[in-house]
């Protein structure tokens, strides 16, 4: 089944980008396809000028880390143990962590401010804390690209903002490419370097101000229900 066609966009290091659109438009499907979690129907995806299909699983695991919405297999792991799993692409066959692996894990813990929680069990954490742990695991994997599916789902406003500001800081400070799917369109407009607007027929990609000028956000919802105010970058409910 074709969900979207005619897509053409590129991502750069040091930028955070979002995929937005209405429910069921294909945001998660596109993200999973970019990460080679599921196969594409047609077209070509390039990573560093090399066709994505030519990367084997181990090579790709050192290039792209993926944070999906699936529940954890076991929440009985400690925070430290879960973050340590990010080093699997680099460990030997018995999974022994080297000093470099341990250093990368502690760097990730520090970056996401989880030092005080690292020995807690994951089932003891709040949703916001667990989301930070999943981001830290992706950071410990030390890939140039991080893909996240709905990283702010089930969080309150404060924690949504905290997570997205953290991701923006990581992209800008570490020169990583971060791409995430989101329903938080107004937050994406304020915090992202680039946005891909998925629509049924026409898809727009670019800087938020460029998309506002192109009236890309006005096309997302029925005009008799919600309108977009380009002067404030926000949506208003039609009463």
Confidence of residue 239 (pLDDT cuts 50, 70, 90): confident
What is the model's pLDDT at position 33? 93
Tokens found for residue 12: 């750069």
Specify the long-range contacts of residues 167-170, CB closer than 8 Å, at least 24 apart: 167/16, 167/135, 168/16, 168/192, 170/111, 170/135, 170/139, 170/146
Place of tokens 């074709």: 2
Kindly report, residue by residue over 147-198, the tens digit of the pLDDT: 999 999 888 899 899 999 999 999 999 999 999 999 999 999 999 999 999 9
Q: Are 144 and 176 in contact (CB under 8 A)?
A: yes
In terms of pTM, does the model score above 0.85? Answer: yes
What is the model's pLDDT at position 89? 86
Q: What is the rounded distance in angstroms from the CA atom of residue 83 to the CA atom of residue 227?
A: 42
Phi, psi of 201 (to 5 degrees): -120, -45
Query: Is 235 in a helix, a strand, or coil?
Result: strand
């Amino acid at each position: 089944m074709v969900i979207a066609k005619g897509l053409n966009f590129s991502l750069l290091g040091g930028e955070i980008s979002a995929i937005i659109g209405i429910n069921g438009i294909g945001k998660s499907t596109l993200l999973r396809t970019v990460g080679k979690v599921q196969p594409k129907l047609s077209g070509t995806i390039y990573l560093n000028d090399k066709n994505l299909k030519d990367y084997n699983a181990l090579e790709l695991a050192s290039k792209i880390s993926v944070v999906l919405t699936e529940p954890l297999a076991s929440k009985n792991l400690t925070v430290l143990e879960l973050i340590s799993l990010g080093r699997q692409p680099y460990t030997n066959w018995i999974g022994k962590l080297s000093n470099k692996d341990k250093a990368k894990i502690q760097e990730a813990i520090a970056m996401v401010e989880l030092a005080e929680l690292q020995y807690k069990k994951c089932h003891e954490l709040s949703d916001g804390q667990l989301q930070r742990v999943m981001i830290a695991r992706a950071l410990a994997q030390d890939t140039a690209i991080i893909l996240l599916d709905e990283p702010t789902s089930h969080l309150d406003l404060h924690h949504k903002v905290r997570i997205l500001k953290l991701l923006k800081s990581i992209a800008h400070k570490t020169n990583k490419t971060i791409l995430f799917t989101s329903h938080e369109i107004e937050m994406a407009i304020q915090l992202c370097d680039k946005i891909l607007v998925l629509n049924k027929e026409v898809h727009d990609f670019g800087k938020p101000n460029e998309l506002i000028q192109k009236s890309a956000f006005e096309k997302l919802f029925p005009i008799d229900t919600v309108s977009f105010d380009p002067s404030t970058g926000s949506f208003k409910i039609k009463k």
